[in-house]
Amino acid sequence: MYVVGVDAGGTSTRACAVDADMHVLGTGRAGGANPNSHPPEKAASAVAEAVAAATVDLDRGDLGACVVGMAGSSKLTDPDVATLFERTWRDAGFDVTPQVVSDAETAFASATDAPDGTVLVAGTGSIAGRIRDRRMVSISGGYGWLLGDEGSGFWIGREAVRATLDALTRREALGELASTVLAEAGVDPAEPQAFHLLITAVNGEAPVRLARFAPLVSAAVESDPVAARIADDAADRLSEIAFAARDAAENTPIVLVGSVLGEGGPVRIRVHDRMRGCDVRESKDGVLGAAWLAALRGFGRQVPHPNRVG
């Protein structure tokens, strides 16, 4: 028998088949499978395609369990979407019904074997989740770009543009951040209408595209105090939503996930500083977290955690 874990994201889907010792037996990849950003039929097909690739050399009759960590998993609360996924799965020749969980849950499981804790996700958006018995039972933040996403790539990018607009309206000397924001937007800082041109350029794109300005903050944080302030504010906001998801004096792990909290990034460094004394972990690989959750279902609680597999 073997089990399969799936990391179904917005841009790609990865599957991993493992045995009872968490040794990888096969891997597969397909397109994005977030049913909020892709047609549900396309998302369902991507999951089935990735699992089929991971099990191409295995007997599908030996599949014991499958866990899918999915961005946009709440979409499956729609009965029509859930039925579509089930039908696509069966048509692909799999008899075991996959358990769909949030990608935050599989990210948490990839970093620790603790059943309880907190997961803090900061990519394009942001959210913190309260984990109990390896399931996310409540959230803090996660209201989306219009109402929240504090400390996210979107939020950081928006703050970078706002700071640039402030500098232009005050006729201040432009620092590194403002100069690179204007360059990224294709606006000449010497243009008298630069202020209006920047607003027009930003408003001409989907709001989420503001996240493309976030890396400029990271690049300028050592030389530009405006960028440093934005990074400080982002770390404050992210820490606040993480602690809001926890009980007072809770000492369970806090798992960090997402591009904003990537290794060596200025926001990550600042978040670690604000969480000094806490058990802070980094998500290793969501697909391994999903595979481990599947292994717990298929083989029992004696399965070694991916962090302990040589």
- Which residue has tokens 């990735």? 50
Count CB atoms within 10 A of the CB of residue 95.
9
Question: b vs e for 1-38, b when ≥16 Cβ sit within 10 Å of the residue's Cβ?
Answer: ebbbbbbbbbeebbbbbbebebeeebebebbbbbbeeb
With residues binned 3-state (H G I as helix, E B as strand, rest as coil), the percentages for the chain, rounded to 5, are 45, 20, 35
**CA-derived radius of gyration, the chain:** 21
Tell me, what's the pLDDT at 53? 95
Q: Output the pLDDT for position 310.
A: 54
- Residue 178's pLDDT is 96
Q: Say what the pLDDT of residue 8 is.
A: 87
- The predicted pLDDT at position 39 comes to 83
Sign of CA dihedral 42, 92, 2, 130: positive
pLDDT, position 149 = 87
- End-to-end, the C-alpha distance of the chain in Å comes to 21
Q: Give the chain's domains with CATH numbers.
A: 2-113+285-308 (3.30.420.40), 115-252 (3.30.420.40)
Global confidence as pTM = 0.84
How far is residue 130 from each of residues 11, 152, 242, measured CA to CA in Å?
Answer: 26, 18, 9
* Residue bearing tokens 């606006």: 187
* Residues in a beta bridge with 13: 8, 30
Facing residues of 100 across strands?
Answer: 68
Per-residue pLDDT in tens (0 to 9) along the chain, 310 residues: 999 999 988 778 999 999 999 999 999 999 888 777 778 888 889 999 999 999 999 988 899 999 999 877 777 888 888 888 888 888 888 888 888 898 889 999 999 999 999 999 998 888 899 999 999 999 898 887 888 889 999 999 999 999 999 999 988 889 999 999 999 999 999 888 999 999 999 999 988 889 999 999 999 999 999 999 999 999 999 999 999 999 988 999 999 998 899 888 999 999 999 999 999 998 878 899 999 999 999 999 889 998 776 5
Look at residue 270 in the predicted model and tell me its pLDDT. Answer: 96
* pLDDT value of position 293: 96
Residue 63: the pLDDT is 92
